Structure formats: C-alpha cells, structure tokens
Amino acid sequence: MRAVCVAAVLLCPLVAHGDEAQARRLRDIGAMARFVPDEASRRLRAMEWEMATAPAALRTDFLYHYSTAERGIGDLTHALTLADQLVTYGRRNHDNVALAKGLIGRANTLYLREELAASHATAFEAERVALTTDDIPTKVLATIAAGQSFQEEGNYPEALAKLHAAIDMARHVKDDAAPLASALHTLVQLYLNTGDFDKGWEAQREALAVARQMASPGYIATALGDEFALAVEQKAFARARHALFEELALERSIGARQMVATTLVNLSDCYLKEGRFREAQTYAAQALEAALDARSNNDVATARVNLGQALLGQGHLAEGKRQVEAGLATYEKQGDKPELLAVLREYGYALELAGDYKGAVDAYNRERKLSSEIFDEQRQKALMELQQKYEAENKQRRIDALRQENRATKAELDNRRLHQRIWWMLAIVFGLASVVVGLLYRKVRRANAELEEKNQQLKRQGALDPLTLLYNRRHFQEFMGRTGTERRAGGDGTVGALFLLDVDRFKDINDTLGHAAGDAVLKTVAHNLRLALRETDMIVRWGGEEFLVFVPAVARDGLDEVALRILHGISSHAAEHRGTRVPVSVSVGFAPFPVALGGTALTWEQVVNLADMALYQAKARGRNCACGVLGFPDGAPATLEPIERDLEEAWRQGWVDLSVVPGDVEYSTAVRSRA
C-alpha cells in the first residue's frame, strides 16, 4: 500500500523570490516525480548545478522532489542522502518547513528499506515539526506519513484519526487539490486493510472526482487503481478490469512505465482470480515485458509467477513451473521472505489444482521450512529487543543506585560538618537521615514489586496469540524445551500425541469474503477446539491457519477417536461473518509422542514433522479427514530420512503404520481405516 502513496508530492507554492522560470520548471518536474520518476530524475539531475546557488525555497523543493524521484526509480541510497541534506539544512537554518520535508523524505525512504521502527519514529517527528509551521500542504503530507506509520503498527483507530485530520486540512489548501487527492487515496488504503469497503468506496469516489477535476492523468490512474483494489476484494471482477483498462490507458499516455508494469500485473492477477488462464497468460507476458523495460524487479518477479500460474492452469506443467521458479528466485535474491511465503502457498495450491500432487507437497514443504525460518528470525529479534530492554533497565538501576550512594555520601559529609559546629544537632540529623533512607528503601521495594508484577503480566501476554487467545508457537517451544525430553510412554498403555490441523481452503475464504471473515473462522476454530478437547490438552496457534494440539495422555488405540472428535468439533459448527454462515472443516495429521524408530526416541520436532507430512497426506485425500503415523513396524529403516522423503512410498514399503480417519462419518461409529 505505502509503495503507491509513499512518494506523494504535495506541491507547495514556491515563493515569488528568485528566478520565476526556475520556479515554474521545478514545479512541473515536481508534479512528474510521483508518476514518471525516471524522467523527473533525469531533468532534476540536469538542474543540480543551477540549484546549488538558487534561493532557499527553491533549493528546499529541489531536494525534496529529487529525493522523491530517486526513491521512485529505486535508488534508495541517493534518495536518503538527498533527504538528509534537506534535514541538515532545515536544522542549521531553523527552517521547519525544510526540516519537515526532509524528515518525510527520510521516513519514506527508510520504509522502502524495511527499517520500519526508524521510519515510524522519523514520520512522527516530521509531524511534530510540520505542525509548528503555517505551511498547510506540508502539514498534510506529514500527517499522512504519521497515519501510515500508525497503520503499519496496527493502530488503526489512531491511523484513521490522523488521515481524517489530513483530509480536513487539505480541504483548506487553495489552488491545489493534490494534497486532498493524496490524503483520500491513503484513506482508501486504510479502509481496504480494515475491510470497511463501504467507507472505502465513499472515499474512492471522492478521490476520483477530485482527480478528474484536476485533469491529472496520474491522480486519476491512482484513484482507478483504488477502484480495482476495492472491486477485486468483493469479487466484482468486471468492474475491476474496467478500472484497470482505463488506468492503463492513462499511464501509457504520460509514459509512466513503472505504473504500466504494475497495472498489467494486476490485470493478469485479476484474470487468474477468475480462472481465465488464457487471458491471464496474455497480460502476464505483457507485464513481464513492461517490467523488464522499467527495470522493476518486484514486477518482474510477480509477472513471472502469474505467467507460471496461468500456464499451470492450462495444463502446461513444465513451462509453468519454470516461470514460477524464476519468479521465486527473484524474491529469494531480494530476501523478501513474506512475499516468498505467500507465493509458495499460491504455488502449492496451483500445482494441486493442476494434479501435480508431488509438486504441491514439495511447495508446501518449502513453505513450511520458510515459515519456520521467519519465525526463528522474529524470535531472535524479539530476544534481542528484550535483551536491550533488560540492559537499559539494568543500567538505569545502576544509575539510580549511584545517585542514592551520592546522596548518602553528601548526607554523611553534611553530618560531619554539623557535628563539628553544633554537636547537639547530630541526633536530629541522624534521625532525619534514617527516615529518608527508610522512605527510599520502601519506595525501592514498592518499585521492584511493581516491576515484577509487570514482568509477569508481559510474560503471560507473550504466551498467547492475540487473535485466538490460544497459546502461541513460542510458548509451546519453551514448554517442550523444558519437559519434552522427559516424556515416556505410560505403563498403562497410554501415550501422548501431537495433532497438526490446517483449515481447509482458507485462502478461498480470504479471497472470497475478505480477511475479516478469515479472522472470524480462526476464532471459531479456536473456540470449537476448546469445546472438543479436554482442559489438560494444550491448544496452540501454530501459524497462519494452522493449529497444533498436544494431548499429554491418551490410550494408544484412541488416537483415531481424538482425531474424529476434532474433525466433527470443527465441521459441525459454521463460522458467522456479517450474518453469513461460513462452513469450516480442517485436515489433520497426527502422531504419538513419544515414539521410537530403530530403538531411538524421536524428538518432539521430528514428531511434529511426521504429523506435518501426515497432514499433507490428508489434504491429498480430499481434505476434511485425518491421517496419522501410529508407529514403525519391524523392518523399518533406522533413520527418518527415507520416510521423510516420501511418506506415501514409505507406507507402501511397510515402513510406517498409517491410519486414515474420514471426517464425513458419524462420530458415534468412530470409523477407522488403515491406509
């Protein structure tokens, strides 16, 4: 979202001082920087020498527009250098308009460099500085940046308040509707994220009317892009395509090569969502050519992925997989793991529809591995942040202790002087000092108690998933790290077990009804799992639409019954979203824990991986069923490697004892079938 509006150019009226010809030329190029950044960059580069001696107001706008254009063509290092020059100039000359613009340029560039914490802090500082000025367009721009930062932090109420404030200010800008158009566009993006489509349409209609009144092809194209995004979320594909075709014509008319590539990618994606693979192939090929011409690596990667999916949809497996893998390679090279994860999920789904089940399982396994890597990185980052917080608190405690020590030393010196002067005052001074120390001691004890209570609250909150209020993955890993290696099978024929669940066709629910419906489904699944399982069973939000259940004690021959209870507990209760019932089912993979292979007990991580492989076997059998690895008969390999390579083949070889529990049978019959 922010990539579209991060470079919004709110043209500030240039002062009448200096060369009017320079001012007009700079104003025209500044209007171009957002939509045709390559041409704007070339022209601004040619003006660099003459701008070195230009009046202060012209120099400020030159640096701001130049940073915007460089950011648009992807030269983030140069864009950041130009923004920092403007920040330095503003601080040195006490020019808050220049300082605010420099901070906005810096915040937007840091965002594209994925330095989100620094970007948000800079945006909030830019807003504080801008609000001290009388320059309304700069105030609007800074308030938009602050609203975007709150949105990226997930603080939607504060983001909404900021964007409405920006719109109110923009309505008072005379002779320039660009600030209002930019603020309305950002508001549409917020409503898209929150799923409030009615208000999104209202803001989009006003943005389009403002853009048409401006007669600006770039702003009209931006508003049409918002229309596409809203329409495709609500499955109004005909309207979405109509908006894209009109947008594409406008972008081509102004030579906006980057925007053309992105719009062609959106067209191919729209046809993919409709299942019209031939048209999707046509526009994906055009998008690839346009993206290569614009040197837009992200659009190149997405175009290749869309082209590959279109080919897969037409049964051209080899060429389709080649194109998708080429797109994936670009995401891997860029280190864009979240985007790579989403593409792998879509890739596996496309391969499954094309009948390439082995390829689909491979894609799902790659997705699973990458998901674990992302989680490990996030956990390491969280640990580092906690360590930094601990060190800061420890440092502050040492400072407080030194201050207290200094106060005590000063009190002792004062006491000595008083003793030398007036001996009978010693008792009074000693008594006062004792009272002060006692008060300080009680204050420190109270502060330590409050700190301990807050730490316990944070620890409890850190163990729960905020959406479902189930335990999160980190808590489960810590729990198994403390107790997992100590578990043994019970002498009474009981074992523990791990059940891995995946919500069936969750992507279709998100694509059809929106992410708010997806959240409602996840919360419903969590609620029904609590009803179906015992209080002693641990239920974990494993990630995305996946859940993990750890049953600490169950009869060895009762695993199928637990799986059936889970299947019926989920499928018998539909989710509710805006008055619509959303049917829900899950696929389940399970395995006992502990379990041994070749006389060696498997770790809990290996058992989870077995359950994961069994889960994909359940998906391959049509979903809404469970598949479990119950054990390893005599003659099984001594290691897991050949079994992990292909579970289906391992079963055929007689290396694993596999159980399949269909989800469409009556619970009371507890049907169990051997695979």
**What is the secondary structure of 97-142 as a DSSP string?**
HHHHHHHHHHHHHHHHTT-HHHHHHHHHHHHHHHTTSS-HHHHHHH
Lowest mean pLDDT among 283-292, 439-448, 559-568, 626-635: 439-448
Q: List, in sequence order, every residue forming a beta bridge with 597; answer none if it has no partner.
A: 600
pLDDT of res. 27: 82
> Does residue 209 fall inside a structural domain?
no
Q: How many domains does the chain have?
A: 3
pLDDT at 383 over 60: no
Number of H helices, E strands in the chain: 28, 12
Look up the pTM and report it: 0.57
pLDDT 10s digits, 590-623: 999 989 888 888 999 999 999 999 999 999 888 9
pLDDT at 287 over 80: yes
| Residues 559 and 483 reside in one and the same domain | yes
pLDDT of res. 217: 92
pLDDT of res. 640: 85
The whole-number average pLDDT for the span 136-150 is 94
State which H helix or E strand residue 550 sits in. Answer: strand 546-555
The whole-number average pLDDT for the span 193-216 is 92
Q: Which of 443, 462, 481 is the last residue of a domain?
A: 462
pLDDT of res. 450: 65
pLDDT 10s digits, 511-529: 888 888 899 999 999 999 9
The whole-number average pLDDT for the span 35-55 is 87
- In this structure, what CATH number is given to the domain that contains residue 667? 3.30.70.270
| Residues 429 and 573 reside in one and the same domain | no
Q: Residue 77 burial (CB < 10 Å; 0-12/13-18/19+)? A: exposed
> Does residue 70 fall inside a structural domain?
yes
| Residues 106 and 81 reside in one and the same domain | yes
> Does residue 128 fall inside a structural domain?
yes
Lowest mean pLDDT among 89-103, 343-357, 524-538: 343-357
pLDDT 10s digits, 480-512: 887 754 555 555 678 999 999 999 999 989 888
CA angle 502, 505, 506 (to 5 degrees): 70
pLDDT of res. 20: 78
Mean pLDDT of the chain: 84
| Residues 492 and 638 reside in one and the same domain | yes
pLDDT at 189 over 50: yes
pLDDT of res. 19: 62
Residue pair 665/672 in contact by the 8 Å Cβ criterion: no
Per-residue pLDDT band at 355 (split at 50, 70, 90): confident
User: In this predicted model, which residue has the larger pLDDT, 385 or 38?
Assistant: 38
pLDDT of res. 515: 86
pLDDT 10s digits, 554-579: 998 899 999 999 999 999 989 998 88
Nearest to 353, CA basis, from 644, 532, 88, 620: 620
Three-state SS at 36? coil
| Residues 643 and 590 reside in one and the same domain | yes
- In this structure, what CATH number is given to the domain that contains residue 124? 1.25.40.10
Q: List, in sequence order, every residue forming a beta bridge with 654; answer none if it has no partner.
A: none
> Does residue 144 fall inside a structural domain?
no
User: In this predicted model, which residue has the larger pLDDT, 372 or 267?
Assistant: 267
User: In this predicted model, which residue has the larger pLDDT, 153 or 264?
Assistant: 264
| Residue 435: CB atoms within 10 Å | 10
| Residues 437 and 586 reside in one and the same domain | no
pLDDT of res. 74: 85
| Residues 407 and 512 reside in one and the same domain | no
How far apart, in whole angstroms, are the C-alpha atoms of residue 315 and residue 482? Answer: 49
> Does residue 228 fall inside a structural domain?
no
Amino acid at 484: G
| Residues 428 and 554 reside in one and the same domain | no
| Residues 439 and 513 reside in one and the same domain | no
pLDDT 10s digits, 29-43: 888 888 889 888 999
pLDDT 10s digits, 638-657: 788 888 888 888 888 889 99
pLDDT of res. 17: 42
CA angle 514, 516, 517 (to 5 degrees): 70
| Residues 501 and 641 reside in one and the same domain | yes
Domain span at 429:
385-462
> Does residue 226 fall inside a structural domain?
no
pLDDT of res. 18: 46
| Residues 453 and 482 reside in one and the same domain | no
> Does residue 251 fall inside a structural domain?
no
pLDDT at 142 over 90: yes
pLDDT of res. 345: 85
Residue pair 300/291 in contact by the 8 Å Cβ criterion: yes
- Give the percent of the chain with pLDDT over 90: 45
| Residues 505 and 635 reside in one and the same domain | yes
Three-state SS at 612? helix
**Is the four-CA dihedral 323, 326, 331, 337 of positive or negative sign?**
positive
pLDDT 10s digits, 218-253: 999 999 999 999 998 888 999 999 999 999 999 999
pLDDT of res. 387: 65
Residue with tokens 């119950």: 630
Q: Which of 430, 462, 494 is the last residue of a domain?
A: 462
Phi and psi torsions of 547, nearest 5°: -130, 150
